[in-house]
Structure 1
Amino acid sequence: MGHDDLPSLELAFPGPERDRGVAAILDGSKTALTGLLEIYEHAGEAVPAAGERFSVLDSEGRPAVTIELVDVRVVPMKEIDDDFARAEGRGYRDVAEWRAAHEEFFRSEGVSAFLGRTPVVGDDTLVVAERFRVVAPDSSGRP
């Protein structure tokens, strides 16, 4: 199955944040990602399941890498631990840094515009915590 046959996955919004995330997947430092459950619900999308594969797109909308989900959990933010935070590959030292960055993103202008309101984010806010593995590089042959 090629990139074109897979559902796409876009990290954050196009630009530096997405580029850093894609680079972290490609260099192996990012093996986890987190989404706000409310975004899935608002978009009418099902929460993904372990075993599903996605084509991760770069900021230009081109396939960069194929990943396969190995674990998916819907949990309150307070259940995310330091190990998961570090697996996000963004240089978080601990869950406190992870949480601050995710609260800021979840309350960002882009997310608020998509939802039509600024979400309330706290300990009990449900997030989709996903762990994945890389199964194929992009067509350029990058690892």
Structure 2
Amino acid sequence: MTVIKQLKAKYPNALSWSFGDSPELADELAALVMKGLKTATCCSLLSFEKEEGSPSVGSYSIVLSGEGSPVCVIRTTAMYLKCFSDVTAELAKKEGEGDLSLDYWKKAHQAFFEREGTYSEDMELVFEEFQLIEIV
């Protein structure tokens, strides 16, 4: 039985996905989760609505590396909508990226959402807070 099948047996209905839009970013962000620095993530509402399976409060997710291997399991503890321009320093810090500042968060996420083709100052984001359950 593969590791992913074992995890799905342990966490029924768990989604499996990777962070970011490149293998390098997936590895970088997964490492932050495993270090306990990243406890939140976000996506555009547009991409969230297009996803086939979406997390919900209480659900488990198997986080994959850039190569598609499971690296850890997280559990969603909160979800909410937030306008890009209303993201706070506290939320930016929960994402655990760069120097943890709001300025860094805005620059990195603007670039990400521009690559996705969804960026605008008033775009809606789906924020997901989570806790690390286990490292695989």
TM-score in terms of structure 1 length: 0.80
Is residue 15 of structure 1 aligned with residue 43 of structure 2? no
| Partner secondary structure for residue 86 of structure 1 | helix
Q: Determine the C-alpha separation between the residues in 2 that align with 1:15 and 1:28.
A: 20
Partner SS, residue 130 of structure 2: strand
Structure 2 counterparts to residues 71-90 of structure 1, below 5 A: 71-90=78-97
For these two proteins, the number of residue pairs brought into alignment is: 128
> Residue 106 of structure 1 aligns with which residue?
113
In 1: Cα distance, 2:56 partner to 2:94 partner: 18
| Equivalent residues of 1:85, 1:92 under 8 A apart | no
Question: Which of 54, 57, 60 is equivalent to 1:50?
Answer: 57
Distance 2:21 2:118 in 1: 17
Structure 1 residue 15, shift from structure 2 partner = 2.1
The alpha carbon displacement at 1:84 in A equals: 1.1
- The residue identity in structure 1 corresponding to 2:124 is L
> RMSD over aligned Cα, in angstroms?
1.9
Partner residue of 1:141?
none
Q: Give TM-score, length-normalised by structure 2.
A: 0.84
2:47 match: secondary structure: helix
1:37-56 deviation per Cα after TM superposition (whole angstroms, max 9, x unaligned): 1112234555x321111000
* Contact in 2 for aligned 1:24/1:89 (Cα 8 Å): yes
CA shift at 1:120, angstroms? 4.0
Gaps of 5+ in 1: 112-117, 139-143
Displaced runs of 4 or more, over 4 A: none
Deviation per residue, 1:52-73 (Å, 9 max, x gap): 1100000111111000011110
Distance 1:137 1:129, change over 3 A: same
Q: Which residue of 2 aligns with 1:114?
A: none
C-alpha contact 1:29 1:89 (8 A) present in aligned 2: yes
2:67 paired residue number: 60
